[in-house]
Structure 1
Amino acid sequence: MKTKLSALKICLCCTALLFGVSSTAQTKQTEKLNQVWLGYFNQTRLTKKWGIWTDLHLRTKEDFVDNFSQSIIRLGLTYYINDATKFTLGYAYVTNYPGDNHKQISQAEHRPWQQIQWHTKYGKKRMMQWFRLEEKYKRKILNDSTLADGYGFGWKLRYNFWYEVPLSKKGVVPKAWSFIANDEVHINFGKQIVNNYFDQNRFFLGLKYQVSEASNLQFGYMNVFQQLAAGNKYKNTNVARVFFFQNIDARKKKS
């Protein structure tokens, strides 16, 4: 009888130990960061059907002004389906500056991308949406100071929703202000994606100042909630976001 009780106790202890290890492994770990994101966007329409896309980004790492986390150079060729809808095919080069798993080196990414973007007006209010597909080739890491050969590959689908409410009775005109709400969801997929099919959500609230007919400045607060590849690790980032936009029509005006 004692032998059976001892065996039962050992079994219960092992079960409790395994449960404890499993619970610890599944414990949600969230890292909190504060960053600044600076961005420049340019969409230039060259002809009735064709245009070019450029956007540049620089992001800090933590405590708003401590080092850099990432920079992006993104270029594209745009086909205008009509005045409200356009398709862009492009390439982006991303530099991930030294991070937790590569503390002494930067990691490069190559990202071909395709996007459908459309605009809608509701009186003086404006809405913009896009779906973007990215093919991410991210350089492999050997250790803290060494890059490995080859690239990891994954797909990313992004949906972006942007809404503008003018604060001026005249609407969106030079030297007028608007309220901006923006949300973007990122979804990962592909053979190398195991735990984080949901990548991140970016929610932004801010103000827009219309500098001229073609240029505007947008600034405000953004929250970025991201799930990392481990599955149980997350980043919750408070971002001070400042973006400058130019939408230039380079077509010859009719006299």
Structure 2
Amino acid sequence: MLKTATHTQENNPGLKTLFFAALSLFSLEVTAEASDNELDSNAHVWMTYVGDHPLGDGPWGLHLEGQVRRSDLVDEWQQWMVRPGLNYTLSPSLTLSAGWAYAKTYPYGDYPVAFDFPEHRAWEQITYSVKALGLEWQNRLRLEQRWIGEMERTGNDWNVENWRYENRIRYMLRTTLPLTASKKTYLAFSEEIFVNFGSNVSGNFFDQNRLFLGVGHKLSPHTRIELGFLEQTIQRRGGAIWENNHTFTVTLASNWPFKKKAKPLSLP
């Protein structure tokens, strides 16, 4: 009976492991293709807070996210972003989310843009987790509607002349491997691919790929910190310039519940 259960459990995980390997191979293939074009290699540091906070005892939750991204390690700005949203938990393994994001990107690297520019995004996502091979695998599919500021120079200032609309879809596969018996310290792996689509996209349907390896530690039942390294491959607009961004990451994540405080007991 035990052997049968183990065999059934490993069917899906094998497919997921194979898919994870295929994504990694795709990343290497994309990097190889990029070698025929102009390459820009950068060292970044990303600092992130991610919060998924349940509201009361119901299925709704609040997503709060902020990111500070620095280029040339920490000397210059690369980008900053805020991404609030709402979560709706259908089951312990399935969550639907939607929200808004604002990002500002700055000139950086050997092929910098001429100006910093803003971007607004609407986003919707499905997060589905499965347990397989003794690990928990998180699948995240996110759809983004993007309004990217096209800038025009007026005197010494740059202003938004037009908002270019684009669509992007992202898929991430992530898992963690406990490093201690208490499972408080763990190894984290993830792979995420980004694909552009829509009438305003030409020359770079592939947008970027992110391959991540890090170490995490649970600070409390609701909070953890992760330190890691992310290799980001980006195809710039037009497709002629590729970025290989070697990125050190620091992430603080929390699912601390937002609940009403209990009323003090009244004396009889």
Matched, 1:167 2:175: no
Q: Residue deviations 1:150-195, cap 9 Å, x none? A: 2011001010111100012233xxxx21011111111001111111
Contact 1:48 1:251 in 2 (8 A): no
The SS at the match of 1:39 is strand
| Cross-structure match for 2:118 | 108
Matches within 5 A, 1:235-250: 235-250=243-258
The SS at the match of 1:81 is strand
Cα distance in 1 between the residues matched to 2:129 and 2:258: 19
1:93 aligned to 87, 94, 102, which one?
A: 102
Structure 1 residues 98 and 32, CA gap change in structure 2 (3 angstroms)? closer
Matched, 1:212 2:212: no
1:197 aligned to 194, 198, 205, which one?
A: 205
Identity over the aligned pairs, expressed in percent? 25
| Cross-structure match for 2:16 | none
Contact 1:56 1:74 in 2 (8 A): yes
| Cross-structure match for 1:186 | 194
Structure 1 residues 202 and 135, CA gap change in structure 2 (3 angstroms)? same
* Root mean square deviation, CA, Å: 2.2
| Cross-structure match for 1:57 | 67
Instruction: Give, in angstroms, the shift of residue 251 of structure 1.
Output: 5.4
| Cross-structure match for 2:6 | none
Instruction: Give, in angstroms, the shift of residue 98 of structure 1.
Output: 4.0
| Cross-structure match for 2:54 | 45
> Match of 1:34, as an amino acid?
A
| Cross-structure match for 2:83 | 74
Q: Which runs of 5+ in 1 are unaligned?
A: 1-25
The SS at the match of 2:180 is coil
* TM-score, length basis structure 1: 0.81
Contact 2:151 2:162 in 1 (8 A): no
Instruction: Give, in angstroms, the shift of residue 96 of structure 1.
Output: 1.3
Contact 2:168 2:195 in 1 (8 A): yes
Instruction: Give, in angstroms, the shift of residue 69 of structure 1.
Output: 1.0
2:163 aligned to 126, 131, 151, which one?
A: 151
Contact 1:52 1:78 in 2 (8 A): yes
Cα distance in 2 between the residues matched to 1:124 and 1:115: 26
Structure 1 outlier segments of 4+, above 6 Å: none
Contact 2:62 2:86 in 1 (8 A): yes
> Match of 1:43, as an amino acid?
D
| Cross-structure match for 1:21 | none
Structure 1 residues 251 and 121, CA gap change in structure 2 (3 angstroms)? farther
The SS at the match of 2:58 is coil
* TM-score, length basis structure 2: 0.77
Instruction: Give, in angstroms, the shift of residue 252 of structure 1.
Output: 7.7
Matched, 1:84 2:96: no
Matched, 1:34 2:81: no
The SS at the match of 1:248 is coil
| Cross-structure match for 2:7 | none
Q: Between Structure 1 and Structure 2, whose CA radius of gyration is higher?
A: 1
The SS at the match of 2:83 is strand
